[in-house]
Structure 1
Amino acid sequence: MNVRRLRHFVAVAETLHFGKAAERLHMTQPPLSQSIIALERELGSALFLRTKRSVALTPFAEQWLEPVRAALDAVNALPDIAGRIRRGETGRLSLSFVSTADYSLLPALVHRFRALYPTVDLALTEATSDVQIAALRRKESHAGIVIPPAHTALPDELAYRQVMTEPLIAAVPESWLDSGRLKLADGQLTPEAVIESPLIVFPRHVAPAFYELVTDYYVACGGQAHIAQHAIQMQTIISLVSAGMGIALVPESLRNLARTGTRYVALHSRAPLLETGIVWRRDDRSPMLANLLDVIGAAENGVFPQ
């Protein structure tokens, strides 16, 4: 249906005067009359009751006027909507993340991005790094916050940017400290105490980079990790620590996860650094993704400007 004719109909309906409507539309009256006649033919129904002295809406036109106004409002909004889509200010952006990011950069990133782009639907999904990378290759996600592989390169079609690094610390059962089973030196956990304590850690196949970072630290301390339990969620690991099943080496940002029965302490020996970054498809030209990368690019080691 011709949008121009719809505008003509609304102008006449609002003025109930062909001359005034033509003036509003910056046209002459004869073409306006012809446009209305053509619209009536298209609809198969009269729109106006005309006399020499007055113009009135037909019952059909009275019911049709509001839907036409709504349709024209939607048409008028299309240029603005197109601009917001082009600028990445609207739409749905899918972002996945590893559980460790939930206590470090993710909350600040989400807060900052939503403050800048409030009409973007930011869809968040927690997943391990390997699951995220596979989903990106299948084009099921726009970007992922991952722990990068330690000894293997990412697939060529994916791009990666480091966002932050943080040292590992020890999550230890508070009961072990109170009973003297675990002793600290200057408030820190010694390499000997690390080696002697049973370990709770992610399974290797779920988080190989993190697993190797932890187990390599045991080797650097002169021993081997005695793994008491595997768990695939960081919250579960901390719960098992609080239950006294063992210790866990976790990112320093996990201090933000307070749990009764668990205490966080620094490592006495040089702590390994955990790297976290963002990965995305090189061929993804989404403006929303570009905006997300700009927000992340403005951060300094996971701290975002306000």
Structure 2
Amino acid sequence: MDIRKMRYFIMVAEELNFSRAAERLRMAQPPLSQEIRKLEEELGVKLFHRTKRMVELTDAGKIFLKGSRQTLLQLEKTIKETQLAAEGRKGNLIIGFVDSTEIVIEALNKFRSRFPKVHLTLREMTTEQQLEALYEKHIHIGFIRSEQNNETLASEICFEESLRLVLPQDHPLVSLPEIPLQLIMDEPFILFPRHLGPNFYDLINGYFWEHGVSLNVVQEAIQMQTIVNLVATGMGVSVVPSSVESYIRPGVIYKKIKETTPKINLYVGWRQDEKSAVVNHFLKVVREVYAISQLDHQ
């Protein structure tokens, strides 16, 4: 079906006059009449009753008019959505994240305000789960705890933080402004399983080992919030990224460590072969938020 003929038909149907319709279309009347006849031949029906005095729609013409208008409206909508998708202003974006750090929340808020027609799907996952999902193309973006720069994946630092101890609120050490690591040497520890984040796990263990502390891990949990909840029950103490302090949980106290802690980096990761304009827009927003956070800490 020629869309041009459909537009001609709608114009004649609105005017019920070939001469006025031709004027609106900025064309001569005979070619317009010829196009309508071709359309009728193509459909095998009469769309208009024509007399010397008047033009009116047939019953078939009335049905075709309604469908033609709907078709053109849908076509215009599809064209607009296609253009928005090409510009990265419409589409779907699946994002994995390890925990809700300030950078993640700020980036999501800013991106949603700029690109309201992009549908975001958020999946809380460990770093290892996100890496697997990136390799398998199950997510577009990952907020991960390990640097990834290889033939398949790329990453950039998007947030830097330190470590905090998490203690039950009735722990004897909570009265201290800062806690030396030697004082928690014999404490039962709650930590995540190494296979779910080996780089981050080894960084924590290496840090404690350098200060003469061997962690006594008595319980493992996957998510940081679960670890904090277990600390609240009195099962042990833990160490978490400082951003986890934003998770307010009755029964626990977050404390600074007296010794200088290593920087805990959060990375934004994506596939090297990713060509989506939506992904590029999101990465641009993450970089902006990270740059602003760096200025705020100067």
Question: What TM-score comes out, normalization by structure 1 length?
Answer: 0.91
For the residues of structure 2 that align with 1:59 and 1:288, how far apart are their CA atoms?
47
Give, in whole Å, the separation in 1 of the partners of 2:93 and 2:292. 20
Q: 1:80 Cα shift?
A: 3.2
Would you say the 8 A contact 1:167–1:274 is kept in 2? Answer: yes
Of the candidates 209, 212, 216, which is equivalent to residue 222 of structure 1?
Answer: 212
RMSD: 1.8
Would you say 1:27 and 2:27 are equivalent positions?
yes
Aligned to 1:254: 244
Q: Structure 1 stretches of 5 or more lacking a match?
A: none
**What is the one-letter code of the residue matched to 2:73?**
D
> Cα distance, 1:51 vs. partner?
1.0
Decide which moves more: 31-40 or 9-18. Answer: 31-40
Aligned equivalents of 2:76 and 2:25: distance in 1? 16
Return the match for 1:211 from 183, 201, 204. Answer: 201
Give the letter aligned to residue 280 of structure 2: A
Residues 143, 304 of structure 1: alpha-carbon distance in 2 compared, 3 angstrom cutoff: farther
1: CA distance between counterparts of 2:269 and 2:290?
17
- The alignment partner of 1:118 has SS state of coil
- CA drift of 1:302 comes to 7.7
Does the C-alpha gap of structure 1 residues 127 and 229 become closer, same or farther in structure 2, counting only changes over 3 Å? Answer: same
- 2:96 matched to which residue of 1? 96
8 Å Cα contact 1:94-1:142 kept in structure 2: yes
Structure 2 counterpart of 1:132, from 130, 133, 138: 130
Counterpart of 2:258 in structure 1 is 268
- Name 1:8's counterpart in structure 2: 8
For 1:212, give the aligned amino acid. Answer: D
Aligned length: 295
Letter in 2 for 1:244: G
Distance in 1 (alpha carbons) for counterparts of 2:174 and 2:160: 28
The Cα offsets for residues 80-125 of structure 1, whole Å up to 9 and x where unpaired, read as 3333122100011111111x3x133221111011011100011111
One-letter code aligned to 1:198: P
Match of 1:105 in 2: 103
112-121 vs 131-140, which deviates more?
A: 131-140
- 1:193, 1:229 → 2: CA distance? 20
Tell me, yes or no, if the aligned pair for 2:174 and 2:253 is still in contact at 8 Å: no
CA displacement at 1:78 relative to structure 2? 4.5
SS at structure 2 position matched to 1:224: coil
- The 5-angstrom pairing of residues 283-298 of structure 1 reads 283-298=273-288
CA distance in 1, matches of 2:235, 2:76: 64
Give how far 1:303 is off: 3.8
Cα distance in 1 for residues equivalent to 2:88 and 2:260: 43
Match of 1:277 in 2: 267
Give the gaps of 5 or more residues in structure 2: none
Q: How far is the alpha carbon of 1:214 from its aligned partner?
A: 1.8
TM-score (norm 2): 0.94
2:119 match: 121
CA distance in structure 1 between the aligned counterparts of 2:27 and 2:291, rounded to whole angstroms: 62
Please say if residues 163 and 296 of structure 1, whose CA atoms lie closer than 8 Å, have aligned partners that are also in contact. yes
